[in-house]
């Protein structure tokens, strides 16, 4: 029987650290999603090569965004991470995002201990501007080749705004 004190939770978000489960590695066109009902990673679809993920893509456990899915995370690393692993990550900010009329925000984070980058990324302002532009372009256009669907990056927010989004998502999870 599971010890529910050991179940992976959202992490210590108030102090800027979250737990992240990786669904999609950087550069992948496979749209892999956590299937909560079956407790497995599931391939939802294969996207066009032009819309490979610009960052690792995952979620924060025990959270629900307004779209009914776990709160998404864009996890920045130099190399792709493997689907299904979890790690502690440092919050850098949030991308406020609307997908087909639903709020689908993305927390932006880096590994909590990223010695490859010298642990220098502390906020969105520390990231290369080109990376932010690539993320914004990807999420504004990844549905362009579909017959239907609209997406819009509304803005990027700071760490405190990200923590508010996480707190609301934890509350939503606890009240489900």
Cβ-count burial of 72 within 10 angstroms (0-12 exposed, 13-18 middle, 19+ buried)?
Answer: buried
67 annotated ligand-binding residue: yes
57 annotated ligand-binding residue: yes
Beta strands in the chain (DSSP E): 17-24, 30-35, 40-46, 56-60, 71-75, 86-99, 102-103, 106-111, 151-157
- Interatomic CA distance for residues 11 and 31, integer angstroms: 25
Q: Nearest to residue 71, comparing CAs of 18, 131, 127?
A: 18
Cα–Cα–Cα angle for 73, 81, 85, nearest 5°? 75
142 annotated ligand-binding residue: yes
Asked if 55 and 23 count as a contact pair (C-beta separation under 8 A), the reply is no
Q: Which residues are annotated as a binding site for Mg(2+)?
A: 67, 72, 104
Q: Which residues are annotated as a binding site?
A: 31, 45, 57, 67, 72, 104, 142
Q: Which residues are annotated as a binding site for substrate?
A: 31, 45, 57, 142
């Amino acid at each position: 029987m599971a010890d529910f004190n050991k179940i992976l939770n959202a992490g210590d978000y108030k102090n800027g650290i979250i737990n992240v489960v990786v669904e999609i590695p950087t550069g992948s066109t496979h749209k892999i999603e956590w299937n909560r009902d079956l407790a497995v990673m599931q391939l939802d679809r294969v996207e066009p090569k032009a819309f490979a993920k610009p960052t690792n893509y995952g979620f924060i456990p025990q959270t629900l965004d307004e779209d009914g899915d776990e709160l998404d995370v864009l996890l920045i690393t130099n190399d792709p991470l493997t689907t299904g692993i979890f790690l502690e990550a440092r919050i850098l900010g949030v991308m406020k995002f609307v997908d087909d009329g639903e709020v689908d925000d993305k927390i932006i984070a880096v590994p909590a201990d990223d010695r490859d980058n010298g642990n220098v990324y502390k906020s969105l302002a520390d990231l290369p501007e080109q990376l932010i532009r690539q993320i914004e372009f990807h999420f504004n256009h990844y549905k362009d080749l579909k017959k239907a669907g609209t997406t819009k990056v509304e803005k990027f927010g700071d760490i405190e705004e990200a923590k508010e989004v996480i707190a609301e998502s934890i509350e939503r999870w606890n009240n489900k």
